[in-house]
Amino acid sequence: MAFSQGFTPHPKISYASAAPTGVASEAEYLEIGLREPVDPGQLRAALDAALSPGLDVLDAVVAAGGSLADRIEASHWRIELPEVEPAVLERAVAAFTAAAEVQVERMTKQGRRTFDARAAVMKIDVIRSVETPSGAPGVSCAILELVVRQVTPSVRPDDVLSGLRAVADLEPPVSPRVIRLAQGTLTAQGEIVDPLDADRDGAAIV
């Protein structure tokens, strides 16, 4: 691995739109600077072997150029809300989508900021479920799936939940489970595609 120069060298690793703390993800990307060319397959296997179980490196490709972060235009999220009735969530989503803007507050590195959580949400759907994904019998679980455009400041899943609370008083009784299903480049049809597709034929990006 390549390291920076100076008195405090550090490994050249760049995370592209890393998921918030406490959020699960099936689609994280990072860029690694190497001292010399290596076989992408061998790099993938070495990284995968060094990581804890459950952190799986799926692919490694040679970066063809350009910033990986610039290719991340949107994320697809799944939010599981145990003990929330789907009909209640549907009403909250209807109020959210009908609003011209939904102002929420969040503490950032620059202090507490107020911003619009509505404009970045490109798609938001309620998926009905009769019980929680974990299989607890008789417990309802509303599931929310949304596609959020990458903006500054970033709009996170918890910001959308804060927006639902603001417009519809939605207060989940149990902590939600948030999973990022995909992130990448947006097509003209609003679909998310793998940001590494441009590099497949070209191992610096994982």
Q: What pLDDT digit, counting tens, does each position of 136-177 carry?
A: 556 678 999 999 999 888 899 999 999 999 999 999 999 999
Looking at the fold, whether 50 and 88 belong to one and the same domain comes out as no
Same domain membership, residue 108 and residue 157: yes
Q: Which two tokens stand for residue 205?
A: 């990006």
| Whether residue 43 sits in one domain with residue 109 | no
Record the pTM.
0.85
In a domain, 7, yes or no: no
> What is the pLDDT, as a whole number, of residue 133?
54
Task: Compute the distance between CA of residue 94 and CA of residue 75 in angstroms, rounded to an integer.
Answer: 21
- Say if residue 162 is in the same domain as residue 76: yes
Residue 157 and residue 61 in one domain: no
Q: Which residues share a beta bridge with 179?
A: 24, 78
pLDDT interval class at 196 (50, 70, 90) = confident
Q: Average pLDDT for residues 75-101, to the nearest whole number?
A: 95
Same-domain pairing of 129 and 156 = yes
Q: Is residue 42 domain-shared with residue 81, that is, in the same domain?
A: no
Question: Alpha-carbon distance 8 to 111, whole Å?
Answer: 28
The number of folded domains in the chain is 2
The answer to whether 148 touches 184, Cβ cutoff 8 Å, is no
Domain that holds residue 48: 13-68+193-199
Q: Are residues 110 and 167 both part of a single domain?
A: yes
Q: Is 91 contained in some domain?
A: yes
Helix (H, G, I), strand (E, B) or coil at 146: strand
Residue 131 · residue 137 · CB < 8 Å: yes
In which band, very low, low, confident or very high, does the pLDDT at 38 lie, cut at 50, 70 and 90?
A: very high
Q: What is the mean pLDDT of residues 66-87?
A: 90
- What distance in Å separates the CA atoms of residue 189 and residue 154, rounded to the nearest whole number? 22
Instruction: Note whether 175 and 79 are same-domain residues.
Output: yes
Residue 3 in domain: no
Hey, CA dihedral for 107, 108, 112, 115, is it positive or negative? negative
Does some domain include residue 78? yes
For the chain, percent helix, then strand, then coil, each to nearest 5? 20, 30, 50
- In angstroms, the CA 101 to CA 168 distance is 14
